[in-house]
Structure 1
Amino acid sequence: MSKRNSAEAKRAARERLRAERERQQKRAKIRRQVTVAGSVVAILAIAAGIGVAVAGMEDGNDSTDWSAVRAQIEDGESGAPAEGDFATAAPAHASGDDGLTIRLGEEDAANTLTLYEDPRCPACASFEQRLGDAVKEGVENGDFAVEYVFGTFLDGSLGGSGSKSALNALGAALDVSPEAFAGFHDALYSEEFHPAETDDAFADDERLIEIAQSVPELKDNADFERAVTGDTFAVWALRMSDTFDSSEGVTSTPTVKFNGEVVETPQTAEDLTALVEEQGTDAG
């Protein structure tokens, strides 16, 4: 083989190698582009999923425009809600200033146990499941009256509106009777019905009405259901939440006051009995 032929063969080989390298580089570039594009699509899909989840948590199935309820309250004078699209009356059987407390038991009971709760609060649910019967027994025995003040701060912390919607529904139950309120309150906090803290299930009016079917006074009660779906006590719910927020010494839920003073939250029925014996006032 001549030197010329040999040189030409080498050049041809180099050209083939160069062409092959270019093809490989092009294929690698395409793979990188496809990978990046796929990653972008995946990220966008994840972001969209998160957005849908967050939107779902914020909105739930709640049709109530809570910002409009708040605006109506703020348009009022001296803390009273202005007239507007939402009813402003407190439920029948409400107590305290402007009907912003719920009191069960003898009106002139010597002692008062005040419970500060949020409907979505898991610690409140645990408290009610452990001590609910003991509280009820104390009220029935005349050892104390019990007052409830509800907050809705978990809606702000976690997103959603379940606490506000549940409080509107609690007002609707109280409007029926104290017994209806007590039964519905117990049902909301029960192991059977209370959702996880991050589950905004109480934002769904239909779910609240479904839970109410377990309460004899509320089963198929059309007035109650209209009040729930019609936001009859939405203004009252936010005003009670404001009362909760301004309550002295209340920094978490549940907070317990006995005769107006914050006390260590009882953990057992025996703790509650001891509290009444040590700090209670004898009615006689």
Structure 2
Amino acid sequence: MSDNRDAKRAARDRLIQQREQQKAGERRRRQVIVAGAVVGVLGLAAVIGVIAANAGGSDNAKSASTSGPVVAPAGADDKDKPAIPVGAADAPSTLTVWEDFRCPACAAFENGLRATIHELENSGQIRVQYHLVTLIDDKTRGGGSLHAANAAGCAQDAGKFSAYHDVLYTNQPDEMDDAYADNAKLLDLAKKVPGLDTPAFRSCVQNGTHNSWVVKSNQAFQAGKFSGTPTVQLNGESIFPAKGNEQITAANLKKWVAQANKGKPAGKASPAS
């Protein structure tokens, strides 16, 4: 009887081990898919952005457009193409990014190239202009894109846009999960950025202080007739998902910036100057 019990126990242990191996394999497979998106296998994600760009406007965005005057985040542009700048104001090159915090292709771009973009920002090689849009809301009639973009604007007010921007993409929910429409979720994520979770930030998020500014930014995107998100340009030239015949990668982005900056000094001025 003891041998029989030992055999059954061993069989159960093997089954548990096999299941764990299967789960680990599935996790690795998902990681490979995300990595592949960054180095060139971006077709499906790009299609998602195109579909969203061609969708009609949402009730959420329409209501926000009449919620009050446009209040731009501190240091942000509120003119024809509202944007939040990151990096030296006198950097020799400008990286323009139109993106949606619910967009999976945007997350693939940001999570895959984050370290490279920050390196280029911090060394004065590029100034990044972030234009926040609400395409996934438009497609799904949701509110997470708008709420997250407003919260990012509130983080800009606190001088912590870049860090909170990265947290939003690192923790991005599934595209069809409108989790970012819940301000409580956005406030909880703010705790991951030291010093951001303040009464002023909370009030800004809960009151939708920058909603109309986000709507104006989304309208500028629609007027530009871009094909989808992310739309990424280096000095006005599209580089996502490729520049000419070269796919966007960390190495290629550095190379393209170096070519654009040849003979030009690195920037040193702060974005607000």
Question: What TM-score comes out, normalization by structure 2 length?
Answer: 0.69
- Secondary structure (helix, strand or coil) at the match of 2:238 reads strand
In the alignment, is the contact (CA less than 8 A) between 2:60 and 2:143 conserved in 1? no
Equivalent position amino acid for 1:258 in 2: L
Match of residue 181 from structure 2: 203
2:228 counterpart of 1:247: no
Match of residue 76 from structure 1: none
Instruction: Using CA pairs under 8 Å that are at least 6 residues apart, name the structure with larger relative contact order, 1 or 2.
Output: 2
In the alignment, is the contact (CA less than 8 A) between 1:165 and 1:203 conserved in 2? yes
Tell me the CA shift for residue 252 of structure 1.
1.4
- Secondary structure (helix, strand or coil) at the match of 1:216 reads coil
In the alignment, is the contact (CA less than 8 A) between 1:110 and 1:282 conserved in 2? no
2:161 counterpart of 1:181: yes
Q: Which digits, 9 at most, give the CA deviation of each residue in 1:185-242, with x for residues without a partner?
A: 000000xx110010000000000000111011313x1101100001111111101111
Equivalent position amino acid for 1:253 in 2: T
- Secondary structure (helix, strand or coil) at the match of 1:257 reads strand
Identity of aligned residues (%): 35
Aligned with 2:257 (options 269, 272, 276): 276
2:202 counterpart of 1:222: no
Aligned with 2:210 (options 208, 211, 233): 233
Tell me the CA shift for residue 119 of structure 1.
0.9
In the alignment, is the contact (CA less than 8 A) between 1:87 and 1:232 conserved in 2? no
In the alignment, is the contact (CA less than 8 A) between 2:93 and 2:234 conserved in 1? yes
What is the Cα-based RMSD across aligned positions, in Å?
Answer: 2.0
Tell me the CA shift for residue 88 of structure 1.
2.5
Q: Which digits, 9 at most, give the CA deviation of each residue in 1:92-146, with x for residues without a partner?
A: 1213626811111111111001111111001111111110111000011111111
Equivalent position amino acid for 1:227 in 2: C
Match of residue 35 from structure 1: none
Aligned with 1:136 (options 97, 118, 121): 118
> Tell me, which stretches of 5 or more residues in structure 1 are unaligned?
1-63, 73-84
Tell me the CA shift for residue 65 of structure 1.
6.0
Q: Distance in 2 between matches of 1:202 and 1:166?
A: 6
Match of residue 68 from structure 1: 63
Structure 1 stretches of 4+ with a deviation exceeding 6 A read none
Q: Which digits, 9 at most, give the CA deviation of each residue in 1:15-63, with x for residues without a partner?
A: xxxxxxxxxxxxxxxxxxxxxxxxxxxxxxxxxxxxxxxxxxxxxxxxx
Equivalent position amino acid for 1:185 in 2: H
Q: Which digits, 9 at most, give the CA deviation of each residue in 1:142-199, with x for residues without a partner?
A: 111111112111111123111011111111111111xx10011000000xx1100100
- Secondary structure (helix, strand or coil) at the match of 2:194 reads coil
Match of residue 256 from structure 1: 232
> Tell me, which stretches of 5 or more residues in structure 2 are unaligned?
1-58, 242-246, 266-273
How do residues 22-61 of structure 1 correspond to structure 2 at under 5 angstroms? none
- Secondary structure (helix, strand or coil) at the match of 2:129 reads strand
In the alignment, is the contact (CA less than 8 A) between 1:131 and 1:267 conserved in 2? no
Q: Distance in 2 between matches of 1:153 and 1:282?
A: 39
Equivalent position amino acid for 2:257 in 1: V
Q: 1:145 to 1:282 in 2, by over 3 A?
A: farther
Q: Which digits, 9 at most, give the CA deviation of each residue in 1:233-262, with x for residues without a partner?
A: 1111101111222235x2111111011222
In the alignment, is the contact (CA less than 8 A) between 1:104 and 1:147 conserved in 2? yes
- Secondary structure (helix, strand or coil) at the match of 1:211 reads helix
- Secondary structure (helix, strand or coil) at the match of 2:114 reads helix
- Secondary structure (helix, strand or coil) at the match of 2:95 reads strand
Query: How many residues end up aligned between the 2 structures?
Result: 202
Match of residue 154 from structure 2: 172
Bigger Rg, structure 1 or 2: 1
Tell me the CA shift for residue 281 of structure 1.
5.0
Question: What TM-score comes out, normalization by structure 1 length?
Answer: 0.66
